[in-house]
Structure 1
Amino acid sequence: MRNPHQLGAIAPSSKAVACLAASVVPNTGEAVVVELGAGGGVISDAIRRRLPPGGRQIAVELNDGMVRHLRRSRPWLEVIPGDAGDLGKFLGQAGVTQVDAVVSSLPWTLFDEQHQKRILDEVSAVLAVGGTFSTVITLAAMPFRRFRQFRALLKGTFTTVGVLGPVWLNVPPALVFTASTSCPSPGRVA
């Protein structure tokens, strides 16, 4: 509540939304998965349940209070404090050049178009061939101009964009957008 420009949700994501967002995480091999805006860790838990043994899970979180919470409550999670717009730099420092999935619950409508583009460009640059990006969007955000800007940037950055949901048992109800550059995403075309 003290940082309204860092938190975009009035409540944590539901387990149903978390599972849907994490559905892009490979469940075989030694996958590397990054979560943007891990917040309280609900989606982090869903990613962990899906991630195979030997996989690596990294979270990038801007809010200092949430970073402390994640480190205390989820010691197995690699938490990097910082802005998702610097994703490539952070991953390079962690010895990672490419990832298999990026899962996001960032508050896209709080970001101007330039910041949205910067983050999406970073995500696109680190995704391995066949990798997928997913992001949670509440239905309440959809009427806003910044959501329309985000959707246009998503379509301009990735080859395939899909939509999963809606999940009505979330406060507020939400969709999960998926995107990839080489393989079709599950769901209907956005």
Structure 2
Amino acid sequence: MLYRTRAATGDTRTFLSAIVRHPHQLGAIAPSSKAVARLAASVVPDTPGAVVVELGAGGGVISDAIRDRLPPGGRQIAVELNDDMVRHLRRSRPWLEVVPGDAGDLGDLLTRAGVTRADAVVSSLPWTLFDDPQQEHVLGEIAASLVPGGRFSTVTTLAVMPIPRFRRFRTLLDRTFATVGTLGPVWHNIPPALVYTGTRAAAAGRPEKAGRDLPEPRR
């Protein structure tokens, strides 16, 4: 318990320092709470050997929740853009496979890591900091990286919901995934947060589109 307390203190200190140095890379003002982390990690399947990818791992709170749910033989990959957070994750969580890079390059990053498809993708990305083309591109990368029936979750805060870019993102979720749901809100998170989930459609008997474009809108 003492180790976990010290680790959490280090997570918060590193996260806050990264915000000060690179505010354009992190959209939150504090790490997610453990309650939010558990909701985000709820999409992790119980299939032995499952591959789970985390985008924007930050201080590692959600990484810990994913590890707690990861089935035997599973593989956990964390994609993180911020150099300070990459060093922190590698130092504090040597069991985590940390891949430095941009979520917009997810397909290429996974290919280099020897991964063809992920069973689940968990995100803490700051969607309201992305313009419309970036949102479309990153969501397209995520969808193309999931197995049919694979699941996606992303943490957001209630404060951003009125923002036009968030409303655009919410529309894109419906276009990208066969089903979309919400978990929460968690009121004692700072700020209050909720988790959106999405499930990629199972194979529909037609070939996938070439490249990593967004799936066609559902009719």
In the superposition, the TM-score normalised over structure 1's length comes to 0.94
Moved more, 45-54 or 174-183: 174-183
Aligned-pair distance for 1:28?
3.2
Aligned-pair distance for 1:58?
0.2
Residue among 117, 142, 150 paired with 2:136: 117
Runs of 4+ in 1 over 4 A off after TM superposition: none
Structure 2 unaligned regions, length at least 5: 1-19, 203-219
2:29 corresponding residue in structure 1:
10
Aligned-pair distance for 1:181?
2.1
CA distance in structure 1 between the aligned counterparts of 2:89 and 2:171, rounded to whole angstroms: 32
CA distance in structure 1 between the aligned counterparts of 2:35 and 2:25, rounded to whole angstroms: 23
Structure 1 unaligned regions, length at least 5: 184-190
1:55 corresponding residue in structure 2:
74
Aligned-pair distance for 1:168?
0.7
Provide the alpha-carbon RMSD of the alignment.
Answer: 0.9
8 Å Cα contact 2:27/2:125 also seen in 1: yes
CA distance in structure 2 between the aligned counterparts of 1:158 and 1:130, rounded to whole angstroms: 10
Q: How many pairs are equivalent?
A: 183
Q: Does 1:20 align with 2:39?
A: yes
Higher helix proportion: 2
Aligned-pair distance for 1:109?
0.5
Deviation digits for residues 90-136 of structure 1, max 9, x if unmatched?
00001101010000011110111111111100000010112100000
Q: Does 1:97 align with 2:97?
A: no
Report 1:1-190 matches (<5 A).
1-182=20-201
Aligned-pair distance for 1:52?
1.3
CA distance in structure 2 between the aligned counterparts of 1:28 and 1:88, rounded to whole angstroms: 22
Query: 1:151 aligns to what SS in structure 2?
Result: helix
Letter of the aligned partner of 2:160 in structure 1?
A: A
Query: 1:44 aligns to what SS in structure 2?
Result: helix
Letter of the aligned partner of 1:138 in structure 2?
A: T
CA distance in structure 2 between the aligned counterparts of 1:170 and 1:113, rounded to whole angstroms: 27
Is the radius of gyration larger for structure 1 or structure 2?
2
Higher strand proportion: 1
8 Å Cα contact 2:147/2:200 also seen in 1: no
